[in-house]
């Protein structure tokens, strides 16, 4: 779980380079906006997301040396926020798989008001 928390804090804090130290070369990321593979895929996913992110506040973290589940609140630069979670699989100290989910309701409400 230590790798998952450290990686999350690094990339949500804008330090993608530090986050990559915890990522396997052949990581697979499944998220609502698609599948990303390898370290380049991780960079693409996190860079595109991080530029919109103002803050991530971890509310709960559970796991061990092979798996982690993080639940957090995301606040964005454009004023919206939402709850989100990720499940990480870790092998040999590196994250090999990440699955992300987040609540789209705040975004849908905002679009409906336009």
pLDDT of residue 110: 67
pLDDT of 114 > 90? The answer is: no
**pLDDT tens-digit profile of 51-61?**
889 999 999 99
Length of the chain: 114
CA distance 113 to 14: 31
Q: Give start and end residues of each alpha helix (H) in 16-95.
A: 16-20, 38-50
**pLDDT tens-digit profile of 37-92?**
999 999 999 988 888 899 999 999 999 999 999 999 999 888 888 999 999 999 99
pLDDT of 30 > 80? The answer is: yes
């Amino acid at each position: 779980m230590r790798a998952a928390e450290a990686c999350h804090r690094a990339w949500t804090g804008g330090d993608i380079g530090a986050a990559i130290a915890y990522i396997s070369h052949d990581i697979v990321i499944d998220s609502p906006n698609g599948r990303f593979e390898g370290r380049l895929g991780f960079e693409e996913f996190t860079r595109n997301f991080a530029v919109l992110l103002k803050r991530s506040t971890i509310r709960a973290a559970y796991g061990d040396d092979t798996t982690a589940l993080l639940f957090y609140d995301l606040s964005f630069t454009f004023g919206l926020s939402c709850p989100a979670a990720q499940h990480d699989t870790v092998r040999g100290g590196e994250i090999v798989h990440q699955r992300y989910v987040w609540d789209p309701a705040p975004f849908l409400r905002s679009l409906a008001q336009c």
